Structure 1
Amino acid sequence: MLQVLQGTAKLAKDRVYLDWNATTPLRPEARAAMVAAWDLAGNPSSVHTEGRQARRIVEDARAAVAGALGADSRNVVFTSGGTEANVLALTPGLVRKPGVPARRLIVSAVEHASVLAGGRFAAGDLQVLGVDRDGVVKPDELRVLLAGGEPVLVSVMLANNETGALQPIPELAGIVHDAGGLLHVDAVQALGKISIDIKLLQADLLSISAHKIGGPKGIGALVLANGVAGLDPLLRGGGQELGRRAGTENVPGIAGFGAAVTAAMASLDGMKRVEKLRQRLEAGLRQSSNGLVFAQDVPRLPNTVLFGAPGLRAETAVIGFDLEGIAVSSGSACSSGKVQPSHVLEAMGFGPELTQGAVRLSLGWSTTEADVDRCLEAWRKLSGTLLKHSDETQLERF
């Protein structure tokens, strides 16, 4: 096994990794924090010295996560990742005090699959909110859906995991709160790429995940605003996480999360360099083989490019890039390796010619100009054979 891992690491040096939205490399700070935590024997619920040492690691990480989001530490609930955080958030009966518990759920059409599934709401209590051609929620449509008078929980992601498009969360929060509802924001893809403050966003609940910012896989958090109540635990038993999630805490994972979020916040300005690389990449794609960049006319994450072209098939493109030594993906990477038409592009109004052929390129803190140039060189090489046809009339803004 060690030889296999060493061989993989050696191979990675010869490759270009452009799938940072799927997961990120583990930061050295996170690795060191996890190793230190593994050396502790104590259970964080124990009152002896060893237990208090473990508890200190958990609470220091909780404070780091809270500080990164402008939240109170007591409102950070550690979970197994973003999906669990989303499902935990989508709980019937949530309430902003003083208020009436929410009994209905509205989600945008471009949400992550864990949100589109509706959490613990019954299918009949779920409504889907449409988006415009750039994948941005329509505020007027939200007002219409909220007009029924019944308290509602609304879930809209801060940044789309495929296009990178940013939603006008403060505006949407105002609409939701005026109607007496609550707003959950899936911020998994945004954390570490843009500044996030739960108070400025006016969100009631935020979901985040460690492995998107250089932390370990398998740890995330749901962060609540002050005054939010009625959170029904998914896991019951012990009193961990103030009774909101039972089970002994994943101390090494939490330690890695805390170290990763601290490092990510310290290097947030580095996203300006990444954005310039993204712009360089987009310019090259537009100049080569009729590439179309989606959601390019709205604010986006600094690192994300979703592009396609008539005739392109995503599964073939991903394999082609991989053979050229470049890791990319087809939209979301959360479908057990399956390459499927993009539900995000479908919601944006694009037809099968493009929804089946969208390729996502996402950059990170170690991406270089050479990486971008190599990707563009590979695309120029591949495009001639990957594109079955290229009708110039289809390249208008559909």
Structure 2
Amino acid sequence: MKPYKIRLSSGDLRAQGMYILLGDGEEKYTKLGITSPPNRIYKIEIAVEVIFNGRRCRGKRSFNIPKGTSIIKAVESLIIKKAEMIKTLKDRGSLKIEKILIDKTDSNSRILNDLFDIWIAKKKINKKPNTVRVYSVYYNAHIRDSIIGKKNIDDINEADIQLEVINKMLNLSLGGNTIKGIKRILKPLFEENDKILNWKKIELPLPPKPRKYYRSKEDTVKIVKALNSYYHPVARGVFKFLLTGRRVNEILYLEHENIDYKNMKFKILAKYAKTNKDFEFPLTQVLIDAIKEQKTSHGRIFKLEHRMILEHFKSAMSEIGIYDMVVHDIRSMVAQTALDNGASIYDVSKMLAHQKVATTEHSYVEGGLTQAKKAQEVFEKVLMTYKEDIEDVEIIEDKFNVIKGLYPNVGDEVINYVISILESKIIK
């Protein structure tokens, strides 16, 4: 069997990099110059080439095609496979399947470094590549060369973790979230190896409070306008998706195959979502236009790296005199603006794809005196309006909708509470 370049009708370039495997004597092309598939199960080979870390990388794979499948249908069915191959080659520099091997000679070792190597190898099975990478970077930077990294796990206690890990990280002025990340590695690593530590004895710094969005309505309008009119078409397209509350990585890895134009929605795959679940979101005309602006037709829609989005965002903000925002603040801006203008905390939580409403409340809802003051002010305003505009409450059948019409941004619970108090006063 030899590979022969697949040819479709003139101008149809979908079969670029695809070859059909044919034997000697088999018809290769029709009179029109189009590839003629044999009357049997046949194979198509896909060859791709990308630049990885400054060097040219090539890869190829073969796929079985059922008997009777036309060459057009065969090519169409393999376009997605080709895009996946290109993405894999760009990410890893190879199409070879990475085998997860655990060295048997280390399986009986109780040295912490050896146990981590075994543990992280197993994590490659189900964890996202980025998670495995972050775990490895954290461990190698703060534990591998330390005293406890070379110590038997059975001889490590809470004081060792405090002195040799936590305190040293504090001395490096690392933040609470970074230090807390070490616990996410060590706790399951120790438990898997039957060593239980009392983490209550280990003092960890409190994580910083989540960033709040406090800018004025005028600033918000300026920011949205700057992002929507940014000069770079790819970055501008990403910004438009970010203005729906999405995370940066979710959009950078969004592919044409995840767009459902018929049902007007797009899907964020679990492997790119922070919550490890598939999520679907509305596809608006603004987003469709952003997709159409791109020069891509398959695979990733926005061919831009994460660091470049950061640079483009800084550039867009500097044009309007804002220098203290980060890209993730777009998400906070969308959520906070929606809440400030009457959106339900539950609706905002769904928009952000939070698994728990409590996460949304913690990040975006103010507590304590400020929240109590807002509730009291709403109550007093509704009470005043109720007294002035409604002389006889009993003749109005739908009190709720009357007040809702006057104050559309007030929550349903507050309105019902006010009505119950007013009616109790009227009865008296």
The two structures have a TM-score, normalised by structure 2, of: 0.26
Q: Considering only CA atoms, is the larger Rg found in Structure 1 or Structure 2?
A: 2
User: Could you say which structure has the greater relative contact order, defined with CA pairs below 8 angstroms and 6 or more residues apart?
Assistant: 1
Which is helix-richer, 1 or 2? 2
